[in-house]
Structures are given as structure tokens and as C-alpha cells.
Structure 1
């Protein structure tokens, strides 16, 4: 949605003076009623656009005290993290609302609740009210989902609370609702949103607004979490059935409205209006002026620093590199058709490998140069880059190859938070939950077919035949790891499946250093390397050394991190809040 959100406040002020001039002339300006604004459709829309701006997700996302994106909190990449050190303190996942702040979850919920209340009291036609309120309810569900997956049940605030006064303070001392009550409210808001927004907006200027399918897809994701081991340790089948029903509804709604897999796994990021795979997006623009700038910083921060102004972040670990299957869909080392070796790690891999991972010698179109090759090797212990990749690799997903180095900081590439591929894999996972295993195979095969994996003589695209329920759950999580690499999904998947200890604990993530041999290398290699076959270069001229990225500690995620502590500062402010039972309190986040 190419709206210049940054100017909404300024526009609001101007339009308010223009649209409501006659009324304001006769009104006490120190206490102007919201009803004066919410009888004007233009001003109301501006307020809603402000809610979009405040609540749309950012690329990859972050968590609590961590300075880097979520990829560094899993086996995708590396970040020095208190979570993975096992040294997290009680106040450090603090987006609960420990102070008056419009940018934390409850600050954003307050703005949404005010909008819902004022629109309802306004004089716009009921149909218009319903459509506006529905979009705001989607974002209230989004905010509460964020809180619940962090902490479990939280206080449900569904109307604006008074802001000042002793009585108002007492009324704001709300207890935590149960986790089940929170999930029910989230679902209720999303059902309301589905009822009143269109399946597809007709005007291109409305690209990115919430649709029925987006609300249904978020509902499916929410209920998949509710059915996952984090929230469902007893494997309650009714929760899986509820998740399946929701995800089937999302799949059917989106399909009926023209959504589906994009033809290209890598180019799907660069089509905007009418992109069939883009279900829930954050819109960006390429403007450079201060007042209209809403640029996507992911591109510039991820591309190599030596190509221009890039930051070289989100660097894939060796574990992520090796995770990709071979071209026949079998894991590296398990394929009987394609032999795997660490020295030639790039050969015969799932086509998503080359579209996600940039490695030494890879052809990676950048800055408009379709023949550009990225080199990350060392000579005599010194990097040939101005600043070496810490892992030996870069992420190339969603990096626009046509954008020049100087313009990357102004990238307008939209971020897709929910792709149709996720809806398919959410449906597959929930189908496995209720033992509809064939449906899971159908979705997995479609994802792998689009990726370009070979079908094989059995038409299973490398999937094992006749998998059990447990094996299919593992296969789906593995597919998600590959399909959604560097999209901010891996950490949450491992956490909701309570697999972080099994995946990471006691281990250290790995990077590589690729060294140019000291003998047998042509003297002019630095100028002729682009013309040398990669097989020959890696076989004759390079050696690969492995290094630990976690140099200070073995990873030691703690079980209590599956539900973070309510910050003590919040409990000090509100005596009715009870701490989670895994952090010394009596609140059970599983109820």
C-alpha cells in the first residue's frame, strides 16, 4: 500500500482545519470531540492509515533486548543473545506496557480502541463504519497475538481507558485474562474483520489493505499456535481441528479471490499490485524526501557492505546453508542421485538455495549488473572484501537486483508478512494434526514443485512415502525452514514447537572461511576468476575452514523462555497482575 504514512499527522492537521472549520469556529478547541473528526470520511481514513503505519510488521522483526533481527535467535544466522546465553532477566522482554508509550503494544491498542469507539459514535454510513472498524479490529488482533505468544494471557482492554485521575488509575488495574480468553478475543476480532472487508480491493491505491483472506490467514496462524506444543502440550485434537477449519477457510477464501503461489520463488518479492502470493504486506515507497519517506531498510542492511552502502546483516550460518535439500528434494547426504560434499556444497541443491544464499563465487545480479559475482574468500589471512562476511555467506532473498548501490537505502520493496505459501503450510500442519495426512502431502508437493525440485518417479518431489504423523510434522517444519528462510519465521516455529533446546542447546553455530591456496593458483586469478568454473575453483584453488560463531558459550536456552516473564516493572505498576508460574508466580499460561 503506497501511502505516505509519515505525513499523516501533518495532513490530519491541515484537513482538520479545512474540513471542520465551521464547527471548530464554534467549539472549545481545548476539548474537541472525536465525533467532529469521525463524521468526515477523509479524516477518518487518515486516522485508520495512521493505525496501519503504527502496526504493520517490519521485515524479519526483532524481540525484546536483542539488537538484531529474529534470524540471529535461531540456527539461520548468528547474534550474541541473552536468550541463547540463558541469561535473560525478568524485565528484558518488556513490550507489555510498563510505561506510557504510544509505541508499545498497549499504547498501540489504546489508539486502536479510541478509533473503534469514535468511529462507532460518528455519523458515517453504517457500511462505511463497518469496513473501517474491521481493519482496526484486525490490527487489535495482531497486537494481542503478539502479546499472547510472548507471555500467554494478558489483560484484555477493549475500550479506551481514562488517562488521568486517581479513579482512572484504579480502573486501569486489570488482571490478566486467561490465554484461552485472549485467543477467543483475537478470533472474534478477526471474524469481525472478515465479515466487513472485501475479498480483494478494486482500486490499486488500496493495495495492501486488509482483505477477508488476510484476516482469515492471520486467524489460521493464531489457531495454529494455539494447537502447537507451546500452548497445547497434551496434543488436544480439538485445538488441531479448530486450527484446520480456520486454515481451510483461509485457503478457500484466498483461492476464490485469485490468490495463490506466485510463479517465481524469488521474483515474488518484486511484484506489488495483484501479486497473488502477497496476503498480508507492509507497503514501502522509494521516496527520498523527509516527509514522504517510508523506505524498506532490509535491502540496504542485508546486501554486502562492499557493494555500496549495504550493511551485510542477516548472514546465513553454515547450518542454514547445509539445511537445503538436494535437487531431488532429499537432504544433503541422503540423496542417492546427487552426491554431497562440503567442498562443493553449492552443487545440485534445491533451486531455492541459489535464490536465498549468496556464497563465494555465486552469480548474484546486483546494482543492475546481471553477471555480477560475489567473492568472499581470504588471501594470506586477509579478506578480499572491505569488510568480511562473518559467516562466509550473505542473504539474497528479497534483495532487488535492479536497484543501484546508492539507491538501496531508498528501497520500496514491500515486505510480505504472510505469503500464500504460509497459508498452504499452515493448512498442511493443521491437517496432520487431525490425521488428514494426504492433504499435507498435497500442499508440500505444490510448494516443492514451485521451488523447482525434481518430481521423481514417484511424483513425491523427494518426500518420503507413507510418513507417519510425527514424520510429517517434522517434514513440514523442515519445509518451513527452507521456504521461509530469513522471513522471521524460524525462531517462532522452533519456539511454538518447543524445539529450541533440541535444535540449539549445547551447540555453537558455525561459519566458514574460504581461503585461496598458496600454491597452484594462477597469478592472474583475481582478474580471471569470474571466468573459472566454480567446480574447478573450489576443487583446485580454495580450501574451506569451519569456525565457531558462538565463541563465548554453548547455547543454553531455558524452558521458562517458552513464556516470557511479565516485567516486574509492570507488576509493580499494577498489583492485580500475576507472574507466570515458570517465573515464580501462580499464573498458568496454558489455561
Structure 2
């Protein structure tokens, strides 16, 4: 990990003394005009915007079939004020506070004397992040007020800031407009210490993602072809721009997380570092919270469910229950002959896991007389091993600095495949899926389809792409949004309880002490066949999942509506009148 990736924010906040106060109220007089006449100072301000807006690692795995956890969303008890991303006050840390900082930068850069070349690059980055903020809002609420200039300060013509919600179509159009400006003004790649800044390719990829949402069933229940065409065009353009600038699938599904500068897979990233200095450190926290607790200083989060584990196909790309697979799935030997991504994503009892600098570490999670042999037990029977640094010592895991790839090249290919499917360009969808599966290491098969069903219908292809995304992007924060934009929570999860497994040692077949002494030298197949029994464990013990249809577009917080009488509540919530499908 690179220490140079400390955002100049440490200096930024020192330079803009009381920066939160400045951005939170009245005006930005605390940033005098000299800032906008000096390219170095203006860049520092843009770095501040990066720090406000860059996304963190993963997220939402408990709000899908990937993992588990108590949630008002799955209990069916979401209230009007539950989803607060819209914000109810002026605050530099909420969405509209961040948008205000971006708008201020765009406005002031226009007034300054920075050379046009540098000014446009800085503005391009700000346009990207304004689109990112509005994308975050529209996928939760539908249309929201489009604030494109800094609003009047507190006490100054308050009524003029009472903006109504823009239509959802207008919000997506504004996102597209900002991203087009970003594409126009940003370079295809940054060099040296600037690597990791957003590029024209990143802007095009975000445009592709946003266009795909607009075409998906959540926003497009009428399946309008023109939306699929826009999504297809946007994703095709993103792929072309990215490939022209050296992007492609990384050679290794496992190692792609650990190449940083010039990583061909990385399209839109958040950079982290491994500093231990309180003033400089920006550690990613995912690694320490995800690995077993006793192999770091935190740990045990993001535990895969059995449903997630079962989603991985066999080595030939066929589902585990597909009778046409050349491999017969054996639930007792669930780990055998699976998609190679399985062993790079899922850690299970008896797995060899290169971790803490030990290339031959064996993970044991079994029970003896209903007691775990682990210092701290996994609840589902599994751990996530994706993007876990294998070299760092346990005591230093809290300082891991692995970068987060919010958009990687694989997503661009799958976004293009899905958009092509929307237009019935199924051969193009096949081509992109095969590229993903080829990199994964799935067997091509005699037909060269990597386990994909031949001559799929449009609906079958949509499902195949969702299935591929579930495996390829496991624990990358994508599954929740995929279920949401395809209106699939009811079908996939409602009325169900997610499960895990318990693996118990049969002590009548072998004494516990004898097995413990010899277990690292016993073949895994022998251990599971002779000595282990596997049982299913219900993880959702309090309720069956009950996602409600109104959750596809959340309510605005009541306080926001009380503050602004021009805001309409979303339909489906407290007599709301705003239609998020317009």
C-alpha cells in the first residue's frame, strides 16, 4: 500500500481552518478569491471534495442473500424517517451539504484565473462527484430537488430555497449531463501520483451504470426500448473509452485487489493507505472486520450464507442442481469441483487459506459436542476471503490499506451485457459473459459457452447475468442494488429465512483429540466423508423476510417536508403524491 495516497486533505483541513463551518453556512468567504486563482489551492479544494464523496468498502451484504443480520427492511417495519440520506438540515456531511461544496467549487472556478486546461480538469472532477451524489439519491427516492448552484445562506431569502422535487427523469437527465461534462473535460488516464483520480472512463462507466438503472424494472416497468438503447450506448462508450486507455480484466480474479497503480481492472476507486499515524492513516477497515476475529484485531463480519455459497456454479459453469453438469454435486463435499471463484471468495471448514503470511494455514470451524473449536466461532459456518491481504501480520490487519474498486472493468462488461439483452442483442451478451467466465477459470466446454445455456431467451439471459453478478461481485455491495432495481426482493427472499451450516465432528468415528492432532494431514475428502456431519442452521430466527413494495422508493424524512412545504412525499408513504416513475 502506498503512503503517497494520503489525500492532501491533512493539509487541506489545516489550510481551510474551520472548513466545516465555512461550508455549512452563509457563504464561503473563508475561502478567499486567491484560492480560485491558484491551481494548487484549487486542487486542494477538489481533494477535499474527493474525501467527502469517495465511497467506502462494500456494504449492504446483510440486506440480500449474501449474508444475514437483523434489519427493519427485512422485518417489514421501515418508517417514514428510517432512510435519512435525503437529509433534514444543512450539514456538510449529508448529501446536499456535499452537493453545496461541489456547486461552490464549480461556481468559483468559473470566476478564477486558473488556466482553462487546469480549470476544466478540476471542474470535470466536480461534475463527476455531483452526478455521483445525485445518483445516490435517485436510486433511493426517485426524483429529488436538483440544486445546481450554492443556495442562499441561512436568514437570506429562505423561501427561495424551497425547491420542489424534480421528476425522476429530470434527475437522471442531470446525472447524464454532468457525466457528459466530466467525460469531455477529464483525461483518459492520470499519471504518477495522480493515479486514482476519476477519469473520462470512470465518468463513462458511471453513466453506463446510471443508464442501466433507468432502464431496469424499478424505473422502467413498461420495458421501454429507448431506455435500453441509451443504456447500451452508454455502456458501449464506456467500454471503448476504457479499453483505449489500457483497461481490461485483470489476469487474476484473486490478485486484482492488490495491484494498485495502473491496475487495469480499476475504473473508479477509493485509495487507502497502511499508515499507523493518526493524522495520516486512511485504513480500509474491511479486511480487519471480515477475516476471523482471531486472525486480526476485529473480525467476523460479512459471513456468507448457505444461499450465497450455493450460488457458485460447478467448474464447468453449470449450477449445482443442473443434471447436465459433468460434475455431480455432493452436498457433503460441497467445496469440490466448484467455480474457481468459490475458493477465492469463500473460506470454509478445512480450507487452506494463505493468511497472516502462512501459505498453508488451515481453517477449522467444526463443532465438538456442540462447542466450536474456533477461538471465536463463525455463525454461518463460512467466512469471506475475497480481498483479504494474505501477507499482513495479525497485529497489523487494522492498518491494511487495500484500495476499494467501486467500479471495476468486469462491471462495465456485465452492464453492457445486460443492456444488450434489453435490446435482444443476445450474442453480444453471450460474448461479455464468456469473457467474465474465462477470466474466472471456468471450463470452456466443447461448445465454448463456459457452461452457459445455449440459445437463451431474453428473460433467461437477464437471469444468467444476475446470477453471474451475484458470484462475480459477491460482497462488493452490488447484490442489494441488483435485487432492488429488478424488483426481486419478494421473489428471492420474502417468506424465507436465510441459512448457514453447522459442521460437527463425529466423535464416535474418531476421538476429538486424535482428529485435532492429525487433521492437517488428513485429506479433506476423507475428513468430510468419514468424520463430519453437516446440518443446516437458520440465521433469521426472529422473522421471515418481509420486504414491502413501497421500499423500492423510500419516503422523504418528515422533517425535510416540514422544513420545505414545496416537497411532495413519495407515493405509498403517508398519502404521498410524488410519482417516482415519471
* Secondary structure at the counterpart of residue 236 of structure 2: helix
Q: Does 1:130 align with 2:130?
A: no
Q: Does 1:590 align with 2:578?
A: no
* Contact 2:16 2:30 (C-alpha < 8 Å) held by counterparts: no
* Contact 2:7 2:47 (C-alpha < 8 Å) held by counterparts: no
- In 1, distance between residues paired with 2:229 and 2:200? 21
Q: Could you tell me which of 61, 76, 92 is aligned with 1:86?
A: 76
1:95 paired residue number: 85
2:24 paired residue number: none
Q: Could you tell me which of 273, 279, 302 is aligned with 2:290?
A: 302
- Residue correspondence of structure 1 range 149-228 to structure 2 within 5 A: 149-167=139-157, 169-202=158-191, 204-228=192-216
Following TM superposition, by how much is the alpha carbon of 1:527 offset from its aligned partner in structure 2, in angstroms? Answer: 2.3
Q: Could you tell me which of 33, 57, 60 is aligned with 2:58?
A: 60
- In 2, distance between residues paired with 1:312 and 1:287? 23
- Residue correspondence of structure 1 range 16-55 to structure 2 within 5 A: 31-32=29-30, 34-55=32-53
Q: Could you tell me which of 66, 69, 79 is aligned with 1:76?
A: 66
1:253 paired residue number: 241
1:375 paired residue number: 364
- In 1, distance between residues paired with 2:221 and 2:110? 40
1:532 paired residue number: 522
Following TM superposition, by how much is the alpha carbon of 1:12 offset from its aligned partner in structure 2, in angstroms? Answer: 2.2
Structure 1 gap ranges (5+): 17-28, 62-69
2:278 paired residue number: 290
Following TM superposition, by how much is the alpha carbon of 1:299 offset from its aligned partner in structure 2, in angstroms? Answer: 0.5
* Contact 1:5 1:294 (C-alpha < 8 Å) held by counterparts: no
1:560 paired residue number: 550
Name the stretch that deviates more: 35-44 or 175-184.
Answer: 35-44
- In 2, distance between residues paired with 1:363 and 1:136? 45
CA shift in 2, pair 1:166/1:39, >3 Å: closer
Alpha-carbon displacement from aligned partner over 1:296-327 (angstroms, at most 9, x marks no partner) = 10000001002131311000000000110000
- In 2, distance between residues paired with 1:431 and 1:315? 34
Name the stretch that deviates more: 485-494 or 337-346.
Answer: 337-346
Alpha-carbon displacement from aligned partner over 1:116-143 (angstroms, at most 9, x marks no partner) = 1111111101111110000011000000
1:480 paired residue number: 469
Structure 2 gap ranges (5+): 20-26
Following TM superposition, by how much is the alpha carbon of 1:201 offset from its aligned partner in structure 2, in angstroms? Answer: 1.0
CA shift in 2, pair 1:5/1:361, >3 Å: farther
- Residue correspondence of structure 1 range 397-476 to structure 2 within 5 A: 397-476=386-465
Q: Could you tell me which of 6, 10, 17 is aligned with 1:7?
A: 10
Following TM superposition, by how much is the alpha carbon of 1:336 offset from its aligned partner in structure 2, in angstroms? Answer: 3.2
Q: Could you tell me which of 503, 508, 521 is aligned with 2:510?
A: 521
Following TM superposition, by how much is the alpha carbon of 1:444 offset from its aligned partner in structure 2, in angstroms? Answer: 0.3
- In 2, distance between residues paired with 1:30 and 1:144? 22
- In 2, distance between residues paired with 1:428 and 1:235? 16
Following TM superposition, by how much is the alpha carbon of 1:31 offset from its aligned partner in structure 2, in angstroms? Answer: 4.6
1:21 paired residue number: none
- In 1, distance between residues paired with 2:347 and 2:29? 57
* Contact 1:134 1:196 (C-alpha < 8 Å) held by counterparts: yes
- In 2, distance between residues paired with 1:222 and 1:31? 35
Alpha-carbon displacement from aligned partner over 1:339-375 (angstroms, at most 9, x marks no partner) = 1121110000000000000000101111000001111
* Contact 1:12 1:46 (C-alpha < 8 Å) held by counterparts: no
Following TM superposition, by how much is the alpha carbon of 1:100 offset from its aligned partner in structure 2, in angstroms? Answer: 2.1
* Contact 2:380 2:500 (C-alpha < 8 Å) held by counterparts: yes
- In 1, distance between residues paired with 2:568 and 2:522? 64
Following TM superposition, by how much is the alpha carbon of 1:498 offset from its aligned partner in structure 2, in angstroms? Answer: 0.1
- Residue correspondence of structure 1 range 489-508 to structure 2 within 5 A: 489-508=478-497
Alpha-carbon displacement from aligned partner over 1:402-425 (angstroms, at most 9, x marks no partner) = 111111110110000001000000
TM-score for the superposition, normalised by structure 1 = 0.94
- In 2, distance between residues paired with 1:208 and 1:490? 25
